[in-house]
Amino acid sequence: MRILLIALFLAPWSIFSQNNISVHVHNVASDKGHINVAVYNSDATFLSFDRVFKAGREAAHEGIVQLMIEDLPAGKYALAVFHDENGNGKLDTNWLGVPKEKVAFSKGKMKTFGPPKYNECAFQIHSDYEIDVKL
């Protein structure tokens, strides 16, 4: 009976449990600047710089850079990653809006005429999660 009461008491808290995403960014070409990860939780906000749900940043180094995005509730997310080689804190683009710095996404790939859609990049988390992204 005591175990049942403890389980009933703790059950509501499991709904609000927070999860971590371990992001492994592959093919980092240099140790210049930073690797930036933006986490989006909806199609409406995807790739909007001012509506990022969570973000992470780690110093770049050649090879694989690992970042941890912490305290995410269970749900559907998509990631956008870029190598800010010049360290100016933004994704540099040419006059057409094409990125000059390496960009990658969770699951989805850059298309000939623009980035992938949210649903092409999205994944579900219900517990801690690991994802590999290739620049």
Q: Name the stretches of the chain with pLDDT < 50.
A: 4-8, 10-11, 13-14
| Closest by CA position to 15, among listed 75, 79, 78 | 75
For the whole model, what pTM was predicted? 0.84
pLDDT at residue number 121: 96
Q: Which residues contact 45 (CB under 8 A, 6 or more apart)?
A: 51, 52, 53
pLDDT at residue number 2: 53
